[in-house]
């Protein structure tokens, strides 16, 4: 694989890594390979020690009781960044992990909220992500609020959203207004496409930059050390994106 041919997943991971600068402890949940790759890339690029904890990993999971210990560390301020997604995400940063329709009579039922609301409140930098950018997923108002993007004045809340990453663009979250600002559009996509595929209103600067492609060094790290580590955590992703298998990683 040539460094001149950047895959979308590598662009997303490099962009996520840029959002994690200065974070000392990054936690990643289950089934989050692109955030995991971004976290490991951020760790490799940092001049200061960075801890990456990934649920489901043997190498990068210091906990013996999974989510319970993650919640305990997060509640004590020990997690600097985390990632959340949802079947629906709206323009106020609310996420829905329950289902579509009027609860409890949802026509489509998802896995459930788990600890999303708690982590959304206590982790300082929560990066939202959704790899299907459409009006079906990015809606004007979620059908059920699993975790709210903002809280009423006077509510103690050190945590909350800082960005929303999709397969079309990167939004930043503006806490005072509770709205998203379009930060950049990924190569090959347009502002018109982003507007057409987004179900909520968002703020747009006078000029919207293109999301920068990963540097040659970032691609080298992603396709080398990060890919080797991803095999243990996300073997299918490592094979499809990086062409890495367990046998190849051990040989290196």
Residue 1 predicted with pLDDT over 90: no
pLDDT in tens, 222-246: 999 999 999 999 999 999 999 998 7
53 vs 32: CA distance, rounded Å: 12
What is the percent of the chain with per-residue pLDDT over 70, rounded to a whole number?
95
Q: What pLDDT does residue 2 have?
A: 43
Q: Which residues contact 64 (CB under 8 A, 6 or more apart)?
A: none
19 vs 186: CA distance, rounded Å: 15
Q: What pLDDT does residue 68 have?
A: 87
Phi, psi of 84 (to 5 degrees): -135, 145
pLDDT in tens, 157-211: 999 999 999 999 999 999 999 999 999 999 999 999 999 999 999 999 999 999 9
Residue 140 predicted with pLDDT over 90: yes
108 vs 37: CA distance, rounded Å: 30
Where do we find the tokens 């920068």?
212
Q: Where are the domains of the chain?
A: 8-214
Q: Which residues pair with 171 in a beta bridge?
A: 164, 182
Q: What is the DSSP code string of 79-100?
A: --EEEE--SEEETTS-EE-SEE
Question: What average pLDDT does this structure show over 89-111?
Answer: 94
Q: How far apart are the first and last CA of the chain?
A: 16
Q: Can you give the pTM of this predicted structure?
A: 0.94
Q: Which fold has domain 8-214?
A: Glutaconate Coenzyme A-transferase (3.40.1080)
């Amino acid at each position: 694989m040539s460094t001149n041919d950047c895959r979308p997943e590598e662009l997303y991971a490099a962009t996520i890594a840029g959002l994690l600068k200065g974070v000392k402890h990054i936690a990643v949940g289950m089934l989050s390979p692109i955030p995991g790759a971004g976290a490991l890339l951020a760790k490799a690029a940092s001049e200061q020690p960075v801890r990456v904890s990934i649920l489901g990993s043997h190498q990068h999971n210091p906990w013996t009781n999974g989510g319970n210990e993650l919640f305990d560390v997060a509640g004590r301020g020990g997690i600097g960044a985390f990632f959340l997604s949802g079947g629906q995400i709206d323009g106020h940063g609310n996420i829905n992990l329950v289902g579509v329709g009027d609860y409890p009579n949802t026509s489509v039922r998802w896995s459930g909220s788990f600890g999303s609301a708690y982590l959304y409140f206590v982790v300082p930098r929560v990066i939202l992500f959704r790899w299907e950018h459409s009006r079906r997923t990015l809606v004007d108002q979620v059908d059920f609020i699993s975790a709210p993007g903002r809280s009423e004045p006077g509510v103690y809340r050190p945590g909350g959203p800082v960005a929303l990453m999709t397969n079309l663009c990167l939004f930043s979250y503006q806490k005072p207004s509770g709205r998203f600002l379009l930060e950049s559009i990924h190569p090959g996509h347009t502002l018109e496409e982003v507007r057409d595929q987004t179900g909520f209103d968002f703020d747009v600067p006078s000029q919207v930059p293109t999301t920068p492609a990963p540097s040659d060094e970032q691609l080298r790290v992603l396709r080398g050390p990060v890919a080797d580590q991803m095999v243990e955590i996300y073997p299918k992703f490592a094979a499809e994106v990086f062409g890495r298998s367990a046998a190849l990683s051990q040989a290196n």
